[in-house]
Amino acid sequence: MNLQLKSANAKIAAVSPWWKGAVIYQIYPRSFADSNGDGIGDLPGITQKLDYVASLGVDGVWLSPFFKSPMRDFGYDVSDYRDVDPIFGTLDDFDRLLARAHELGLKIIIDQVYSHTSDAHAWFEESRASRTNPKADWYIWADAKPDGSPPSNWQSVFGGPSWTWDARRSQYYMHNFLSTQPDLNVHNPQVQEALLATARFWLDRGVDGFRLDAINFSMHDPKLTDNPPDLEPGKRTRPFDFQLHVHNQSHADIPLFLQRIRALMDTYDAERFTVAEVGGSDSVREMKLFTADADKLNSAYSFDFLYAEKLTPDVVADSFTVWPGAPGEGWPSWAFSNHDAPRAVSRWTTPDHRDALSRMALLLLLALRGNVFLYQGEELGLPQAEVPFERLQDPEAIANWPQTLGRDGARTPMAWTDQGPFGGFSAIEPWLPVDPRHAELAVDRQERDPASTLNLTRRLVALRKATPALQTGAIHRLPAHDPILVFERGTGADKVLCVFNLSDAAQDWSLPGGWCVKEQIGSFDARQNRLGAYAGLIFEPAAG
């Protein structure tokens, strides 16, 4: 590490916690690396690849669920919060992963799913046994209406009513997702205590923080008031899309529970990190609510970019301008791709422009004010994989086929080599197929190419870490004609100018005086005032 980078990092560390402005790499364990040849990724496989992750220059790793689960929703239906599913390994394997990550200077963030469990969880099995057992009120139970219909009109995210009849209790139970994912009654103080004990279990093992899954679904209106219809025009592929979700989620007491989580985190010596996943049409308000002041979560991210079908200057600016850095305001996080959304390069451009878009998008993501989440394979420029219908695994993808790209195409195995039929992921046919296009972009092939997207990612992450203005500086949009996005990061002499052409055609744009190029993706002709297709540039103040 050179002296300039050391000095910049020391300056940032002196005023900011480790997580503020961090770059965190998301790993989907089923699809990262298979160490035992069963076609499914596992914790030892991740441990074997941590040197690769560290080589990217990222600050930490977010691990999607690896807990015990029937895998109806591939780990987001937890049957035991405090154990590892055997397909992923053991608790000892997790401890070894954590130790190796810390040796490499990587933080480990794990998912916590507090909205719901699996119907195979011991808590639910006890709760459904009777209306009088000790855990009878740990889930959301309600009687049928007089005509036998469900207690409310609420619809599940994955299709159909949010209510399933249970003959043992002669009642309905609520589920915002699959019928095998009953919602916890987080209004119940005993449930909150059990969830906090789960958090303490993992914190005591040494994890560095949590990503709180679907946290705005964790509390509902106890009166079970019907949701009103959503009358705004738009594409609808599920019954869920026909309602405004004002009663089945987003209850006003959620921030009170988050305060309890933050209070627990603050009892640990090293600073631990919390980030909320917040989906829905009211995500900005809830992100701010969940992160306001110093007694709630550190950060939150929404689906602004994950579900955006087109990348435009307004889409980007509308997301970051609502986080001006006002007193008491929280800190945003951003992701362009993850395991729940089709990969950005397949949503935002055509195949012939994929490489240019992926490289520009990396620079844009790393230039935003907030934390950055890089999804596995994003550093390789991977497109959405093509998964034939007969190989689909995701229940949402199957239910909505062919109206959506689905989630399976973003969850296919990592391609580590360009040799063999399975991209070096496994010795046997993996749980999802490896797209041949991914093998062409495999890690080993890109390692050999200094100009590859992989090596560009390393350079851009290093740039962000060496530039305080990019890591924690203010952000301010400047005027520019569509499809050009221009913003400044930082203040005074410690600032940079960020310019992006978000289209596949060259555009006219004039560089103001006093700036020189610090980083460039694509072409820019200052004499002709011409910005190339999918060009991105970072300028710094000219010397003198």
369 with 353: CB under 8 angstroms?
A: no
Residue type, 419: Q
Other Cβ atoms closer than 10 A to 494: 14
* 213 catalytic per annotation: yes
What's the rounded Cα separation, in Å, for the pair 143 and 157?
22
Give burial (CB, 10 Å; 0-12/13-18/19+) of 159.
Answer: middle
What's the rounded Cα separation, in Å, for the pair 389 and 387?
6
Taking the mean position of all CA atoms in its chain, how far away is CA 107?
A: 16
Annotated catalytic residue within 42, 85, 277, 379: 277
What's the rounded Cα separation, in Å, for the pair 289 and 276?
11
Instruction: Report which of 243, 68, 36 is spatially closest to residue 160, judged by C-alpha positions.
Output: 243
Query: What's the sign of the alpha-carbon dihedral 7, 8, 13, 19?
Result: negative
Annotated catalytic residue within 59, 213, 286, 379: 213
- The DSSP 8-state label assigned to residue 401 in this structure reads T
Helix (H) or strand (E) holding 209: strand 209-212
Query: What's the sign of the alpha-carbon dihedral 376, 377, 379, 384?
Result: negative
Instruction: Report which of 292, 274, 118 is spatially closest to residue 196, judged by C-alpha positions.
Output: 274
User: What are the tokens at 339?
Assistant: 């395991």
95 with 162: CB under 8 angstroms?
A: no
Helices 189-205 and 254-265, axial angle in degrees (round to 10)? 30
What's the rounded Cα separation, in Å, for the pair 61 and 25?
5
Instruction: Report which of 139, 60, 47 is spatially closest to residue 97, judged by C-alpha positions.
Output: 47
Active site residues: 213, 277
